[in-house]
């Protein structure tokens, strides 16, 4: 790594990129991968068949550029989200990271700032750096919560141009109340802040958890981002999207690359959306396994966060790295996110969840935390 860094530093790299590390969790060949919040159930057979047929139908026209405005896909996404949204309020790109990047290209940049509230999604500062946007770090409560009063006060004090609100938050998994979003939006009036509510895990939220989509009417600076990587099991297809006022969509057209969504990507997403009942059935099973993990971790004397996502963040570990290694030895990889005493685990299939829980219990028992099994 030192040699690689030395070679990199010989290049005329931008000063603000020197010493930076690329985003990425460990990519290890492990039987049970519960570290990057993928949908481990896979793509249902009927959705696979629909995708194959959809791709076949466009394959003959790949010599032509795709629909630059991905009109049919925007219609379909608007229909899926509901809330009275229309196609002119929808935008999509290659994963929600590209969606966020385009927002920063349009509303961030040199001389402008973006505010996040760590611990939160670790791509926010990297996307800010890549677009020349100053990244400001807000603060959360000791339990990693974020109140409307605290968030609004920080927005007023820092006057950012862009605010990231991750809900459900990654890595903690907890959703924000809409009062937080509304308070941040009002507090950002003075700086005309674009407020992004990142709802990548929205489909996994508990019943009664409201989406920020309900706040869009009358709020032209509010953007709600989503992804098809999680609930739709399409992490490998790369399709993220957002809902916002039509003028926001017009702004993003100024910075997007020409024909940025391939015909194959559009066809894949449309096929998945038209067969979403199978995928939503998987979501319900994932939620059951998530809630099972929370219950079992509490029984083991650990402290899991209440999760509205497809993963569980938990604290109370004396040596997280030791537990991480012990799980890895059993063929299970989870995520060490660098927060003392904690780990994060994706809710997998019933079998994957069982292997994780049984191995974790063995490791805790070996530490004297639990009776030996």
Task: Give the residue extent of every domain in the chain.
Answer: 2-44+277-366, 45-275
**Pairwise CA distance, residues 360 & 10, whole Å:** 45
Q: What are phi and psi of 360, to 5 degrees?
A: -60, -45
User: Looking at the predicted structure, is the pLDDT value of residue 220 above 60?
Assistant: yes
Range 45-275 classified under CATH 3.40.50.10860: no
Q: What DSSP line would sit under 213-241, residue for residue?
A: GGG-TT-TTEEEEEESSSTT--TTT--EE
**Pairwise CA distance, residues 207 & 310, whole Å:** 14
- Unique residue bearing structure tokens 């609100």: 165
How do residues 256-303 score in pLDDT, each as one tens digit? Answer: 999 999 999 999 999 999 999 999 999 999 999 999 999 999 999 999
Mean pLDDT of the region 3-20: 85
**Other C-beta atoms within 10 Å of 146: how many?**
25
| pLDDT mean across residues, the chain | 95
Please enumerate in sequence order all residues whose Cβ is within 8 A of that of 21, keeping only pairs 6 or more positions apart, or say none: none
How do residues 328-360 score in pLDDT, each as one tens digit? Answer: 999 999 999 999 999 999 999 999 999 999 999
User: Looking at the predicted structure, is the pLDDT value of residue 371 above 70?
Assistant: no
Q: How confident is the model at residue 5 (pLDDT cuts 50, 70, 90)?
A: confident
**SS3 label, residue 314:** strand
Report the alpha-carbon angle 52-58-63, nearest 5.
135
How do residues 53-110 score in pLDDT, each as one tens digit? Answer: 999 999 999 999 999 999 999 999 999 999 999 999 999 999 999 999 999 999 999 9
Q: Which CATH number fits domain 2-44+277-366: 3.40.50.10860, 2.70.98.50, 3.90.1150.10, 3.40.640.10?
A: 3.90.1150.10
Beta bridge partners of 92: 241
Q: How confident is the model at residue 20 (pLDDT cuts 50, 70, 90)?
A: confident
Q: Identify the H or E element spanning 187.
A: helix 178-187
Mean pLDDT of the region 234-252: 98
What's the whole-model pTM score? Answer: 0.95
């Amino acid at each position: 790594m030192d040699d690689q860094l030395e070679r990199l530093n010989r290049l005329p790299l931008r000063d603000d990129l020197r010493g930076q590390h690329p985003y990425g969790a460990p990519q290890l060949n492990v039987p049970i991968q519960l570290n990057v919040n993928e949908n481990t159930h896979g793509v249902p057979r009927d959705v696979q068949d629909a995708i194959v047929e959809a791709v076949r139908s466009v394959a003959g026209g790949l010599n032509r550029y795709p629909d630059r405005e991905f009109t049919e896909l925007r219609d379909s996404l608007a229909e899926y989200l509901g809330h009275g949204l229309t196609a002119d309020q929808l935008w999509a790109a290659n994963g929600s990271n590209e969606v966020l990047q385009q927002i920063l290209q349009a509303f961030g940049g040199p001389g402008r700032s973006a505010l996040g509230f760590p611990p939160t999604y670790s791509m926010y500062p990297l996307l800010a750096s890549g677009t020349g946007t100053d990244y400001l770090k807000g603060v959360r409560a000791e339990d990693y919560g974020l109140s409307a009063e605290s968030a609004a006060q920080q927005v007023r004090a820092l006057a950012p141009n862009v605010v990231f609100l991750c809900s459900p938050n990654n890595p903690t998994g907890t959703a924000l109340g809409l009062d937080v979003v509304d308070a941040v939006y009002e507090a950002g009036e003075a700086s005309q802040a674009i407020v992004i509510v990142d709802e990548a895990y929205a489909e996994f939220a508990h019943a009664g958890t409201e989406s920020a989509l309900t706040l869009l009417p009358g709020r032209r600076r509010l953007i709600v981002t989503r992804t098809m990587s999680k609930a739709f099991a399409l992490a490998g297809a790369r399709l993220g999207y957002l809902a916002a006022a039509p003028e926001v969509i017009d702004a993003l057209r100024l910075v997007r690359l020409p024909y940025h969504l391939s015909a194959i990507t559009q066809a894949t997403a449309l096929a998945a959306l038209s067969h979403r009942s199978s995928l939503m059935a998987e979501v319900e099973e994932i939620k059951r396994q998530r809630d099972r993990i929370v219950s079992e971790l509490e029984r083991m004397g650990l402290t899991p966060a209440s999760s509205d996502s497809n993963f569980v963040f938990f604290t109370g570990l004396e040596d997280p790295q030791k537990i991480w290694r012990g799980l890895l030895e059993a063929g299970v990889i989870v995520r060490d996110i660098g927060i003392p005493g904690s780990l994060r685990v994706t809710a997998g299939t019933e079998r994957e969840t069982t292997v994780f829980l049984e191995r974790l219990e063995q490791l805790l028992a070996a530490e004297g935390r639990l009776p030996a099994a």
